[in-house]
Structure 1
Amino acid sequence: MKIDDIDRRLLEELLADARLSLKELGGRVGLSSPSVSERLKRLEEGGVIRGFTLDVDPKALGYLFQAIVRVRPLPGTLHVVQKLLDDIPQIIECDKVTGDDCFYARLYVRSMEELDTLLDKVAEKAETHTAVVKAQTVQRRLPPVV
């Protein structure tokens, strides 16, 4: 889908504040509310806007630690390990990657004991290497809207 300069400006405004009203968005990009609504609908239908989310602080829910786990399945266990990872609700995202490891999983836990318990679920089927996140210096963000 091709996007124009007005679409880019709409996306930039929504990235800065997704709670803007259609009227406010329109005022910022020089369109009426119905025109903004139609453009946003087109951007959604075209797959540019995939959804709208709620940003919740995991610490507010008691998750004190974030970890990144590199996972290397043992021979013949790739699909089993993928299913095991998918079934752990504390894993908030997992990427299948190239290289020595097959998966990079990001998860939140309430304690180091909980982390050990979760890692034990895959220990028989895969090697894991875990890093506990001390600080997130760059928050998840989109590449430039150009």
Structure 2
Amino acid sequence: MDSIDTRIIQMLRRNSRESFATIGKSVDLSAPAVGKRVKQLEEKGIILGYSLKLNHGKLGVSTKAIIELRIHQSSTIRTAHNQIFNYEEVQRCDRLTGEDRLSILAYFKNNANLITFIERISQYGVPKTSIILEE
């Protein structure tokens, strides 16, 4: 990976749908050359995929929360992670170092849905919830 690859990655991080022609103008390469480099970055496993950024407010989301869940028993952390990660509201579910715990980023239509979610995940551990005020 060289400095051109780094610049290509930076542009794709800002806008993963940026055209290869636009990227090429920025890095002084042709669109096909940029496409070839991107394909190589994908094949090497450097670029793992592309994501979609949504306006959650327009989708009815009014409450965003980070929930740290301290797991009751070490033996249940993998099960808890797998179950919680698959809930519709969950955007991220990361296992943290230290005590067995998860950090969960989740979006809800309202506070009542957040409360229901907290009650569901409490079977796995003790939740500590922070509502996101601004992103």
Distance 2:54 2:7 in 1: 26
Distance 1:17 1:86 in 2: 26
Identity %: 28
Per the alignment, residue 14 of structure 1 pairs with 12
Deviations 1:73-108 (CA, angstroms, capped at 9, x unpaired): 212432332233123110110110012351000000
> Is residue 87 from structure 1 mapped to residue 100 from structure 2 by the alignment?
no
Per the alignment, residue 107 of structure 1 pairs with 106
Q: Give the number of aligned pairs.
A: 134
Distance 1:87 1:14 in 2: 27
Q: Which runs of 4+ in 1 moved over 4 A?
A: none
- Return the offset for 1:46: 1.1
Runs of at least 5 residues in structure 1 that lack an aligned partner in the other structure: 137-146
Per the alignment, residue 25 of structure 1 pairs with 23
Which amino acid in structure 1 is aligned with residue 89 of structure 2? Q
TM-score by length of 2: 0.88
Which amino acid in structure 2 is aligned with residue 71 of structure 1? L
Distance 2:79 2:15 in 1: 41
Distance 2:114 2:71 in 1: 18
Matches within 5 A, 1:47-126: 47-75=45-73, 76-126=75-125
Which amino acid in structure 2 is aligned with residue 4 of structure 1? D
Structure with more helix by fraction? 2
Label 1:117 to 1:38 Cα distance change in 2 as closer, same or farther (>3 A). Answer: same
Distance 1:66 1:117 in 2: 14
- The alignment yields a C-alpha RMSD, in angstroms, of 1.7
Which amino acid in structure 1 is aligned with residue 23 of structure 2? L
Conservation of the 8 A alpha-carbon contact between 1:92 and 1:107: yes
- Return the offset for 1:28: 1.8
Label 1:86 to 1:53 Cα distance change in 2 as closer, same or farther (>3 A). Answer: closer
Conservation of the 8 A alpha-carbon contact between 1:88 and 1:118: no
Conservation of the 8 A alpha-carbon contact between 1:68 and 1:131: yes
Label 1:69 to 1:33 Cα distance change in 2 as closer, same or farther (>3 A). Answer: same
Runs of at least 5 residues in structure 2 that lack an aligned partner in the other structure: none
Which amino acid in structure 2 is aligned with residue 14 of structure 1? L
- Return the offset for 1:10: 1.6
